[in-house]
Structure 1
Amino acid sequence: MEEVETPEELLIKQHRKEKKDLQAKIQSMKNAVPKNEKKRRKQLTEDISNLEAELSQKHEKELKLLKESCLVEEVSNSLGSVTVANDEETSDSRRPSRTSKAQKRRDKKAAEEKEREMRIAEAEVENLTGSRHQEGLKLKGKLQEKGLQIREISSDGHCMYRAVEDQLRGRGISFSITELRAQTAQFMRSHADDFMPFLTNLNSGDMYTADEFEKYCSDVADTAAWGGQLELRALSQVLQLPIEVVQADSPSILTGEDFDKPPIILIYMRHAFGLGEHYNSVEPLKELANEEDG
C-alpha cells in the first residue's frame, strides 16, 4: 500500500522545487547580462539577492501557517476522539490481541524512522528560514554593493583579531594575533580614562576598579577573551587605520574615522555557527574578480 505524504512533507517538496526553479531563473538572468557590463552586473547581484530573500520569507510564512493549521486540527481531533475512546475502552480491553510482537516491533521501527526523516526535513527548512540564514542573506546584499563577500574566520575566541590580521595581510602588513592582543591591551592601559567608564562589574553594576581593569587588560593580552567594540577602538589607534564593522540589521560602525585611509572591513554576525556573536573578514567578490581577470 502506497504511503500518503503528510501536508508538511508536500510543502517541503514544493519548497525544494521552487528553490530549484529560482536557481534556474538566476542562471538565465546571469547568462543574459554580458560580463563586461559591470553596472548591469552589479544591479543583477542586487536583484538576485532580493529574489532569494523574498523566496525565503515566503517559505517561512507558509511553513508557519501550515504548522498553525495542523495544531488546530490536532487539538480538534483529540477532543473528538475522547468520547469514542471511552465508549470502546471496555470492549477493546476484552478483545484478544491480533498484532504479533514481531509486527509491533516493525511498526515501532517504521514510526521511529518516519519521525527521524521529519526531523531532518524540519531542520532543513529551519536552516533556510532561521535567523542565521536571514542574517547571511542581508550581509550578502550589503557586501555585494561594495564588491565584497564574506571570508570565513575560525571561531575560537580570537575571531576579531584573526579578522583584523587577515585584513592587514591583504595590505602587506604583518601582525600576529599575540602582537595585536598585546598592543591592544597596552593601549587600553595607557588610556584607562577612555575605556574604564564603559566597563562595569556584572554583579554590582559599578564601574571597574583599577584592579578589575588591569585584570581585564591582562585577559585581552594573554587569553582567548572575546574582543568587541572597545578593543576595536584601541586597535584603530594602534594601527592608525579606520575600522568599519558591517552588520546585517544595523548601519555599519566606523571607528577611527579621523584617519584618512581606506578602512579595514570586518563582518559582525549575531547568529554565526549557532554559537552567538562572531567576526569574519571580507574579500573581493569572486564574480567581479573573475571579470577583471578576464
Structure 2
Amino acid sequence: MEEIEETPEEHLAKQHRKEKKDMQAKIQSMKNAIPKNDKKRRKQMTEEIAKIEADLNNKHEEELSQLKSSTDTKVEEVLNGVETMKMEGGKEAEAEAAEEEEEEEEEEEATQPRVTKAQKRRDKKATQEKERESRIAEAEVLNLQGVRHQEGLKLAQKLATKQLQIKEISSDGHCMYRAIEDQLAQRTKPEITMSMKELRSRTAEFMRGHADDFLPFLTNSNTGDMYTTDEFEKYCSDVEHTAAWGGQLELRALTQVLLLPMEVIQADSPPIKIGEEFDSEPVTLIYMRHAYGLGEHYNSVEQLKDPANAEDS
C-alpha cells in the first residue's frame, strides 16, 4: 500500500493538537497537586497556568505565521517556473505533454483494480494506526532520559528485589487512599477491607479525636502560625469530603485506624516506615515525585508477573 504523505499544514496542526493535549494534562496535574484550601498556592498556580497557555498560544501563532510565509514563497517559485516553461516550450510542447498524460491516466485506470469502500476504510485505519505507533515511539524516545522515566527505572529495580512491580492507580486526588484500598484487597488474609470513602472518613475521624498529635505539623501558609481550631476542622473536613491530596499525616492516622504498618517506597530515598509497632505484613505504597508532570502521586504494588525477566534485566 502506498504511504500517504501528510502536508506541512496537516503535520503542524497535528503537532499543535498534541501540544495542547499535553498542556491540559500538565494543568490538570498541577490542580491535583495543590489542596483546594491552599489559596495562596492556588493563586500562584492560576497565574502560572495563564502564562503556560499564553506561551503556547504565542508559539502556535508564530509557527503558523512561519509556515504561511514559507508556503507563499514556494507557491510563487512554482508559478514562476511554470510560466517560464510555457514560454520556452511553446504551445506545441504543452499540447504534447497533455496528450501523453491523458494516455497514461487511461492506461492506469484500465489496469488498476477498483478499490472498494471497505478496502479504503481498512487502508485509512491502517494509516492512522501507523501514525499513532509512530507518535508513541517518538514520545518514548523523547522521554527516555526524562526524570519520570529514570524514576520509574529506579523503582522497578527496587521492587524487583522484593518480587513486586508497580500497580497503577488513577490520578484523581484520591490516589493514596485508592492505593491503600487496593493493598487491603490484595492481602492473603484480609483483616479489614475499606473503600476509599471509608478510609477518608476514618482518617478524618481519627485526626479530629487526636488533634494534639497533628496540629503541631499544620501551619497557615500565609501567616506561618499553627492552625486554629476552625482551620484544623476545615482541614479534616477536606480530608473527609474532598479530593484533597493525602500525605504523611494522613498515613500516620491510617496506621492507627487499620492497626497495620505502612511502608512507602521512593526512588531516591530509603523507604519510609510508619506504624512499626504493629507486627504484621505492611501496606506497601509507591511514592512518585514525577509521575504526572508537576504533580506527586501514590501507586500500589502487586506480585511481579515475570520474575525471570526481571532478574535478567
Q: TM-score under structure 2 normalisation? A: 0.54
Describe how 1:82-93 pairs up with structure 2 within 5 A: none
Query: Residue 185 of structure 1 aligns with which residue?
Result: 204
Query: Residue 101 of structure 1 aligns with which residue?
Result: 75
Given residue 238 of structure 2, which amino acid in structure 1 is its aligned partner?
Answer: D
Query: Residue 144 of structure 2 aligns with which residue?
Result: 128
CA distance in 1 between partners of 2:234 and 2:77 (Å): 65
Does the 8 Å CA contact 2:206/2:253 hold for their aligned counterparts?
yes
Relative to structure 1, the CA distance from residue 194 to residue 148 in structure 2 (aligned partners, 3 Å threshold; closer, same or farther) is same
Q: TM-score under structure 1 normalisation? A: 0.57
Relative to structure 1, the CA distance from residue 283 to residue 210 in structure 2 (aligned partners, 3 Å threshold; closer, same or farther) is same
- Structure 1 runs of 4+ aligned residues shifted over 6 Å read 119-122
For 2:291, which of 266, 272, 284 is the aligned residue?
Answer: 272
Deviations 1:240-264 (A, max 9, x none): 0000000000000000000000100
Percent identity between the aligned chains?
73
CA distance in 2 between partners of 1:218 and 1:124 (Å): 41
Return the offset for 1:177.
Answer: 1.0
Describe how 1:9-88 pairs up with structure 2 within 5 A: none
CA distance in 2 between partners of 1:259 and 1:130 (Å): 38
Relative to structure 1, the CA distance from residue 155 to residue 210 in structure 2 (aligned partners, 3 Å threshold; closer, same or farther) is same
Return the offset for 1:165.
Answer: 0.1
Is 1:139 matched up with 2:158?
no
Query: Residue 178 of structure 2 aligns with which residue?
Result: 162
Query: Residue 287 of structure 1 aligns with which residue?
Result: 306
Gaps of 5+ in 2: 1-72, 80-134
Is 1:240 matched up with 2:259?
yes
Return the offset for 1:120.
Answer: 8.9
Structure with max Cα Rg: 2
For 1:215, which of 234, 237, 260 is the aligned residue?
Answer: 234
CA distance in 1 between partners of 2:222 and 2:74 (Å): 62
Instruction: Say which structure, 1 or 2, has more relative contact order (CA 8 Å, 6+ apart).
Output: 2
Query: Residue 11 of structure 2 aligns with which residue?
Result: none
CA distance in 1 between partners of 2:157 and 2:232 (Å): 39
Relative to structure 1, the CA distance from residue 253 to residue 214 in structure 2 (aligned partners, 3 Å threshold; closer, same or farther) is same
For 1:257, which of 272, 276, 280 is the aligned residue?
Answer: 276
Given residue 199 of structure 1, which amino acid in structure 2 is its aligned partner?
Answer: L
Return the offset for 1:178.
Answer: 1.0
RMSD over aligned Cα atoms: 2.5
